[in-house]
Copies of this chain bind each other. A is one copy, B any other.
Amino acid sequence: MEIGFESFYSKRARGMKASEIRELLKLTQNKEIISFAGGLPNPGAFPAKVAAELTKEVFENHAEDALQYGTTEGLPTLREAFAENYSAHKLECSPDQILITSGSQQGLDLLSKVFLNPGDTIIVGAPTYLGALGSFRAFQANIESVPLDEKGFRVDALEEKLEALKHEGKRVKFIYLVPTFQNPTGVTIPEDRRKRILAMAEEYDTLVVEDDPYGRLRFEGDGVPSLFSLDRGVGRVIHMGTLSKLLAPGLRVATLMGHPDMIKKFVIAKQSTDLCSNTLTQFISAEYIRRGHLDEHVKFIRDLYGKKKNIMLQAMDDFMPSGVEWTRPEGGMFIWATVPEGLNTVDLFSKAIERKVAYVVGRAFYVSDGGEREMRLNFSYASDESIREGIERLGKVIEEAL
C-alpha cells in the first residue's frame, strides 16, 4: 500500500522543488571538470594544522562544556571574540548585538521566520544570492527585485520600487543586499549609495539586511563602511557575517547582528529551530579568533584569492572572444560575465560540460526572468593552472557558439 505523501506537505513544501540549478551543479562534480561553479573556499588554504592544535587544547581544557549543550545565543567567549574582532575592523558592535548562527544560511532562515508572513514583501537585487532566494521562497515571501549596475543596487530604481509598493499599500519588511563583492556579480556599493539606501529605508520605514560574507576579502582599493556601521546602532540594519569564507565552512559558525531587542526575538526563534549551534566548533572558533589567527589567515587568503582573481581576469583578457563582458571586482570570490546577444548561458552550459568546464547559469540568481546571457565564475576554488586552462576552454565554447 502506497502513501500519497504529497497531500501531507505544507503549501510551502509543495513549492519546494529540487532546483534545476542543483541538478546542473551535480554535473560539475566530475573530477575531470574544471569547476568555476561552486562558491567554495579553497580547501588547500584551510588552516588545518592550527585548527587541529586548537581542537586538541579545547578537548584538554573545556571537554565537558564543549561536548554539552550551549546557550542559544552562542558561546559567550565567542560572541566577545567576534565583537572585539569586528570592532577592530571598523564594524563597531557589542556581544549583546550578536547571535551565533549555524552558518549564514541559518541567519537567512531565522530572518524569514522572524519577519515574513506568507505574501509579505521584500526587495532584493536582480541578480542576488541564490541561497537567500531559497529561504525567502520557503517562507512564501513576495520577492520584488531592483536591477544592479556596476555600483550595485540602482538607487533610482530602488526609490521607484519603494514608491510604487507604497502606492499599492504594500509594506516592505526589508531590503536584502550583499553590498560588498556581491554574490553573484562581485560589485560593491559605494559609500554615497549606501547612505542613500539607509535614508530611503528610514523614509519608507523598512529594514536593511546586509549579508556580508566577503567584506574582509578585499584585495585592492579602499574599504567602504558597512551599512551596519553607517546605521550607528539605530537598529535599522541587520548584519550577517560568517567564518565560512574566512576560515572554514565545515565549522558552521556565523553571526547575525542587530539591535539587542531584536536579537532577543531571534534567540527565541533559534531556540525552537536547533536549540544551539555546535558547541565544539564554537570553542575552536573562539580560540582561533582570540589568538589572532583569524586576522593572519585573512591576510593569507586575501593574497591567495587576489592572485587567483588576477589570473582569471588575465585569462579572460587572453581567451574571451570580443563581445563578452565581465566585472573586475576588488575582492570576494566571483566574476560575473555576460555573453554576446544571441547566446544564452543555459544552452552554453551543456557545451561547457562537454569541454569539461563549469559555471553557474545567470538565471539562477534572478527572482523571475533575467540573466539569460550571464554566468557566475568562481575564482577561489580552482588551482591557478586550472583557472587559466578552464577559461581557455570556456572561451572556445563561447567562440564556437557565436
Instruction: Give the CA-CA distance A116 to B120 in the complex, in Å.
Output: 19
With A109-B273, A134-B272, A278-B251 already in contact, the answer to whether A13 and B115 are too (CB < 8 A) is yes
Q: Which residues of B contact A170 (CB under 8 A)?
A: none
Q: Which of B69, B250, B265, B280 contacts A9 (CB 8 A)?
A: B265
Are B5 and A259 neighbours in the complex by a CB distance under 8 Å? yes
Give the shortest distance, in Å, between A285 (CB) and chain B (any CB): 11
**Hey, what's the 0/1 contact readout for A225-248 against B, CB within 8 Å counting as 1?**
000000000111000000010001
Instruction: Give the CA-CA distance A113 to B113 in the complex, in Å.
Output: 11
Give the shortest distance, in Å, between A174 (CB) and chain B (any CB): 8
Are A3 and B56 neighbours in the complex by a CB distance under 8 Å? no
Q: Which of B60, B68, B70, B250 contacts A280 (CB 8 A)?
A: B250
Are A9 and B275 neighbours in the complex by a CB distance under 8 Å? no
Give the shortest distance, in Å, between A27 (CB) and chain B (any CB): 15
With A272-B134, A272-B138 already in contact, the answer to whether A115 and B8 are too (CB < 8 A) is yes
Instruction: Give the CA-CA distance A63 to B64 in the complex, in Å.
Output: 24
Are A278 and B275 neighbours in the complex by a CB distance under 8 Å? no
Are A269 and B63 neighbours in the complex by a CB distance under 8 Å? no
Are B252 and A277 neighbours in the complex by a CB distance under 8 Å? yes
**Hey, what's the 0/1 contact readout for A2-36 against B, CB within 8 Å counting as 1?**
01010011111100111100100000000000000
Instruction: Give the CA-CA distance A64 to B207 in the complex, in Å.
Output: 38
**Hey, what's the 0/1 contact readout for A40-65 against B, CB within 8 Å counting as 1?**
11011010100110011001100111
* Number of identical monomers bound together in the oligomeric complex: 2
Are B59 and A46 neighbours in the complex by a CB distance under 8 Å? no
Are B13 and A269 neighbours in the complex by a CB distance under 8 Å? yes
Which one of A100-108, A150-158, A185-193, A347-355 is at the interface? A100-108
Are A103 and B274 neighbours in the complex by a CB distance under 8 Å? yes
Find residues 241-299 in chain A having any chain B CB closer than 8 Å to their own CB: 244, 248-252, 259, 261-262, 264-265, 268-269, 271-281
Q: Is A370 an interface residue (CB 8 A)?
A: no
With A68-B43, A69-B250 already in contact, the answer to whether A18 and B273 are too (CB < 8 A) is no
Q: Which residues of B contact A248 (CB under 8 A)?
A: 67-68
Q: Is A66 an interface residue (CB 8 A)?
A: yes
Are A278 and B102 neighbours in the complex by a CB distance under 8 Å? yes
Q: Which of B9, B64, B268 contacts A16 (CB 8 A)?
A: B268
Q: Is A117 an interface residue (CB 8 A)?
A: yes
Are B115 and A9 neighbours in the complex by a CB distance under 8 Å? yes
Q: Which residues of B contact A173 (CB under 8 A)?
A: 8
Q: Which of B60, B234, B252 contacts A274 (CB 8 A)?
A: B252
Q: Which residues of B contact A67 (CB under 8 A)?
A: 43, 46, 48, 51, 248-251
Q: Which residues of B contact A55 (CB under 8 A)?
A: 52, 55-56, 59
Give the shortest distance, in Å, between A207 (CB) and chain B (any CB): 6
Query: Can you name the residue of chain B whose Cβ is closest to the Cβ of A18?
Result: B268
Instruction: Give the CA-CA distance A335 to B195 in the complex, in Å.
Output: 58
Q: Is A114 an interface residue (CB 8 A)?
A: yes
Are A52 and B63 neighbours in the complex by a CB distance under 8 Å? yes
Q: Which residues of B contact A236 (CB under 8 A)?
A: 3
Q: Which of B18, B60, B235, B279 contacts A3 (CB 8 A)?
A: B235
Q: Can you give 24 contacting A-B residue pairs, CB < 8 Å? A: A3-B259, A5-B235, A5-B262, A8-B174, A8-B207, A9-B114, A9-B265, A12-B117, A16-B269, A46-B64, A51-B67, A55-B55, A55-B59, A68-B249, A69-B244, A69-B250, A102-B274, A103-B274, A105-B273, A108-B272, A134-B271, A135-B272, A137-B272, A280-B281
- Apart from A46-B67, A250-B280, what 5 extra A-B contacts exist at CB < 8 Å? A5-B259, A13-B113, A13-B114, A18-B268, A67-B250
